[in-house]
Amino acid sequence: AQSVAQPEDQVNVAEGNPLTVKCTYSVSGNPYLFWYVQYPNRGLQFLLKYITGDNLVKGSYGFEAEFNKSQTSFHLKKPSALVSDSALYFCAVRDMSAAGNKLTFGGGTRVLVKP
């Protein structure tokens, strides 16, 4: 069965500092990986995805993520965090061998960027 782990419930970072949100996954087949962000009282918004190709993926709002197959990780990064980046972040994995191409989400990591 596929699974996603986000080991940190919350990440605190000062504005202007680098931001990293960790994600590790487990699938039986090739993974398709996604990051979503949820702002208060809003639905989830897509940030970026890894399907194939370059291991470094660039997405919306200056975010990027690096796919590491050997470590089964897909950490989200931003070089310089903004207060407006404060939100709930979800990593998700799709196992193409699973029924219905199921998308499994991690438990979420709350990011708090302080001025």
Partner 1 sequence: EAQVTQNPRYLITVTGKKLTVTCSQNMNHEYMSWYRQDPGLGLRQIYYSMNVEVTDKGDVPEGYKVSRKEKRNFPLILESPSPNQTSLYFCASSFRASTSEQYFGPGTRLTVT
Which residues of the shown chain bind partner 1 in the complex (CB under 8 A)?
4, 9, 32, 34, 36, 41-46, 49, 51, 90, 92, 94, 96, 99-103, 105-108
- In one-letter notation, the amino acid at residue 27 is V
Nearer to partner 1, 41 or 70 (CB): 41
Shortest Cβ 86–partner 1 spacing (Å): 18
Q: Collapsing DSSP states into helix, strand and coil, what is residue 17?
A: coil
Q: Kindly give the pairing relationship between strand 109-114 and strand 10-14.
A: parallel
Shortest Cβ 101–partner 1 spacing (Å): 4
| Length of the chain, in residues | 115
Shortest Cβ 100–partner 1 spacing (Å): 5
Nearer to partner 1, 85 or 106 (CB): 106
Q: Kindly give the pairing relationship between strand 19-21 and strand 24-26.
A: unpaired
CB 75 within 8 A of CB 22: yes
